[in-house]
Structure 1
Amino acid sequence: MATAKPNYKIGDYVLSKKGKGTVRYVGPIEAANDQTKIFAGLELDEPNGKNNGSTQGKVYFECPENYGIFVPVETLANLPKMLTKPPSNPVRSNRASELRQELGSTIGSDITGVTGMSKMSTFNNMPAVRQAQNVNTKTYHHDLQANLKKVLDQLEAEQDKNATLQARIQELERATGSGDDEEFEKQELIVKVESLEEVKKTLEEKLRETNVSLERNMAMLASQNDEVHLLQKTVEDLKVSNTRITTASASPHFNNESILKEKDELSKRIAVLESNLKEALTSSTQTQEKLNENLINAKKEAENHVKEKNELLKRLQEVETKFSNILKSEAEIQEKLNQDLTDAKNQAQNENIRLLKHLEEVENKLSDTLKAEAENNRDFDMAKEEAENFVKEKRELLDHVQGLKEKLDDASKSAMNEKNELSFKNWKRNSRKT
């Protein structure tokens, strides 16, 4: 029974027992024992294959290792439009994750800016001033680290939510993975039903030929029956004549050689006609038996074909119902997944806005702290300048006092010397008088 071979061309997206893939080659392969058998070289979507497009050293097409496979074309099934080839970037790329990456990048750049601002404030103060400034800086860094830790904890919580969502996506994909098997079984049944349609056409053609042969044989049988009836009538007529002649020849007055000769010829003719009649009856019986056998075989083959087709159609209906339920479930899952992704995106956007607002508050607080530190530094600079001026004035005053003291000492020494000299002179004068 001839069946139509599937017609696939390069670039078709098909379903095989190893999964979905794209046709990259159609034709015979040297590895096959039957060089007339047509194979399809597929590049699978998943690494479920056996080669990279080559077999036994001959390259038929190129693809990554374990993505290539060669299968007979009759084992393939065209995918319906609803199952077109998935894009190279799956939908599983989570926009929420991208938003979190953008958020992390923004926060990272803002934190870098904040750190840079803190590095700009370096002052050369006196020990007391530097100690007060270090206390303020430590307090600021402690607050900043606490705020950053809070932001990082929130980001980590978002990443945990994203990981949970990704795990759920994978679980849903595993749950819906059986849909591929159901689709492949459905396509196999469709191919079988199409093959049965070809068988049906062949049987119908054979039935038409059988009917033509039957009509021809029936006409032949009718002709044979007419001939048999004619032979039977002729034999009966000849038997009647033979009986009459036999009766007449038995009479003692009968002595006619021509009649006796006619009787012998008649007996021979009767024998020949009886032989022909027997052969005609045998041929008619054989023809009738053959016709009956052909009718029985044709009826049995048609009944088996109808039974097999009905069973396949019933199974196909069951698979289509099951596949429809799976598609409905997949649609519900996809809708729920889209809703979850939308919620995650909105949540990430809201969290991004909240974190940016919180970061702005931290930055404003930092700016206020830096302004306060700048004012404190100005006060400390003024106090330092006043202290330095005071020290300078004190040093100048001490120098002046020291100079006055030295002058006073010199004056005292000079006065003492003058006094001693005057006393000596007086003593000497008094000594002379005495």
Structure 2
Amino acid sequence: MARRSSKADPSGQRRHGPRDAARGILPDFQGREADIARIEKLLDHVGDGGKALLISGEAGIGKTTLLEFAQVFARQRGFRVLYMSGVIAEAHLPFAALQQAVGPILRQAEKLPQRQHAALLAAFGLGDDTTVPDTFLVALATLTLLTESAVRKPILLVADDIQWLDQPSHDVLSFISRRLSSDPIVLLMAARSDSEEAFPHWSVPRHQLSRLDAAAAERLLDAESPDLPLDLRQRFLDVAAGNPLALVELPRGERKPETGESHWVPLTDRLERAFFSRVSVLPTATRALLLIIAENDSRSIREVLDAGEVLLHEKVALETLAPAASARLIEIAAGEVRFRHPLVRSAIHQASSPVMRHNIHAALSRVIIDEPDRRIWHRMASAVGPDEALAAELDAAAARSQRRGALATAITAL
């Protein structure tokens, strides 16, 4: 992205400010000029009173990177930066996330009113009292601690992945977010867009990060991987669909030669985790149907449900896919289903076992009736060892495809 010009000092030399320092430490933010400007404005006007902002967006869209920029920029402006992050593994531990943020200023808690001090220590397992800490008192103590500390220097409180906060920390953060107007404190939070319904009562301004436009996506990919072959460059642009993390990580993955049109691309571990995390927490039957969608070469919802019944040996209804739709992984319309982002399909495929994929192709071959060529290809994908009869059917399918002019399909079949 184009950088703002630095001001010149009387000697004619460029004088570098906090914006330059922050942007020099972190990579260029292609296409994020407006998003960065909003963060800068929030921090620049902290003297007018505290503010809170919730940044949301899909996995890999750049929420954490934007928070990292805010932390670097704030430190350059003399802020004290406090940080917490939600972690699935600690979501069951009360006040675990809050302890991350408050830990650096906990020594100042001695000046708190006695009941607030005792509640805060109890919340972190540091007090003698074994009773369950009062969440209201813990929230009040945290707010008091922040406001007293902000007298000396402004505070930036960062909370990443708040969809995975433990519930008590979530409640404390919600309490604080509504009481910042008179203090030099900025609260920046980030959450995945599919989890926003978890915060309906939060009266906090929200900022949605969108996917990069085509021009910004090309600039980012070219900056990260300038020597890509043109066909591979276009392939990555297509499947990344404007997702910054995908544009950075896809060139780092294994590059396999493609024959015909592939529905997925190899993902790095980081990409797989980013796009599969929402899938891993869904019900077993829902995950099975998502894998059927990923492996199927048709968008037919009827085929998915029928194959699901064969695979799961039970009745499967459209409601089985409801958790995936609520998580914004898929869209269902006019008898068809598709993934909202193509890399979700790749992540599901890559995370599944060969045995599961084999069973799914076998199930699809049983429910596809009116399209013999597709049925044969799914049989091939589920075959174990040589099968002369199947090979003969594949030859015939390839010949039919070649006569229709479907050369790529014929090559795949052969």
Q: TM-score, normalised by structure 1?
A: 0.16
* Greater share of residues in helix: 1
Structure with bigger gyration radius = 1
Structure with greater contact order relative to length (CA < 8 Å, sep ≥ 6): 1
